[in-house]
Amino acid sequence: MRKVVIAGNWKMHKTQADASAFVQQLMPQLEGVPDERELVLCAPFTTLGLLVDKLQGSRVQVGAQNIHWEREGAYTGEISGPMLKEVGVRYVVVGHSERRQYFGETDETVNARLKAAQINGLTPILCVGETKQQRDANETESVIVNQIKQALVDINQFNLVIAYEPIWAIGTGDTCAAADANDVIGKIRSLLDNQEVSIQYGGSVKPENVDEIMAQSEIDGALVGGASLMPDSFARLANYRA
Ligand code: PGA
């Protein structure tokens, strides 16, 4: 059975005080969420310990947004797998388009970070997606196939979540048509050895469109930026109507 994973990606938002208030407002709104849905909050490094603590015994898991491939070393500004594991993080976002675009992430470094996540017992959420220009040039499929193939070299597909996030739909309010996202995700699945990998859609998912997105046959969850920042809105996503 493919697992449903609804994950918030807070990006560079929220202090510890903000995170604390968020959890307090969120928890009562999750009581009706079906047990089989996995809920995750991927937060900045400074709030991870606090979130793990506050969410202990709840159904919400905590994720980081990046991981270095080495255990330790002279890599100023980076965080390693053992550090995340010690804090109690369960997931980590790898290869988000903002990291590829602004911080020089490549398919090779994505692959190395995926390995580090798995070695440390974390579940990576591998992000792939095409630019608007690539979509307009009908290159979506080739771009995605390439990203997936390179990212997954020597990666265990039994501890993996993939997020299809068309770059032009991230933070723009411009969602990919649910049926189009479904087609691309079906294509990604056809490249995998393990057909049970959960594949999310990401890019302007919000309370108004989550039900339609989650109704698609190939879509197993959502990776959500903006709409995960308000507790009411994240709760509505978690409570999507199937
Ligand atoms: P968005 O971001 O929901 O704000 O479009 C999604 C993401 O970047 O993961």
Over residues 75-119, the pLDDT tens digits come to 999 999 999 999 999 999 999 999 999 999 999 999 999 999 999
| Mean pLDDT by groups of 10 residues along the chain of 242 residues | 96 98 98 97 98 97 98 98 98 98 97 98 98 96 98 98 96 90 98 98 97 98 98 98 91
DSSP state, 54? H
Q: Can 141 be counted among the known catalytic residues?
A: no
Both tokens assigned to 200: 């999310």
Of all atoms in ligand 1, which is nearest to the CA of residue 228? 3
pLDDT of residue 227: 98
Using alpha carbons only, give the angle 202, 242, 38 rounded to the nearest 5 degrees.
60
Q: How many domains does the chain have?
A: 1
For 70, the 3-state DSSP assignment is: coil
Instruction: Report the atom number in ligand 1 closest to the C-alpha of 224.
Output: 3
Q: Please, are residues 84 and 121 in contact by the beta-carbon 8 Å criterion?
A: no
Most informative mutation of 10, 93, 204 for ligand 1 (most atoms within 8 A of CB): 204
Residue closest via CA to ligand 1's atom 2 equals 225
pLDDT of residue 175: 85
Centre a 10 Å sphere on the Cβ of residue 213 and count the other Cβ atoms it contains.
25
Per-residue pLDDT at 173: 84
Kindly state the percentage of the chain with pLDDT values over 90: 97
Can you spell out the DSSP letters for 72-95?
SSS-TT--BHHHHHHHT--EEEES
User: Domain limits at 202?
Assistant: 4-238
Catalytic residue among 38, 68, 96, 105: 96
113-136 burial string, b = 16+ CB within 10 Å, else e?
bbbbbbebebbbbbbbbbbeebbe
Atom 6, ligand 1: which residue's CA is nearest? 225
In the three-class reduction of DSSP (H, G, I as helix; E, B as strand; rest coil), residue 149 is classed as: helix
Residues touching ligand 1 (Cβ under 6 Å) are 9, 165, 170-171, 202-205, 223-227
Q: Specify the pTM.
A: 0.97
Q: Answer whether 196's CB lies under 8 Å from 233's CB.
A: no
Distances (CA, A) of 136 to 73, 131, 140, 168, 211: 42, 9, 8, 11, 27
Q: Which CATH number does the domain housing residue 125 bear?
A: 3.20.20.70
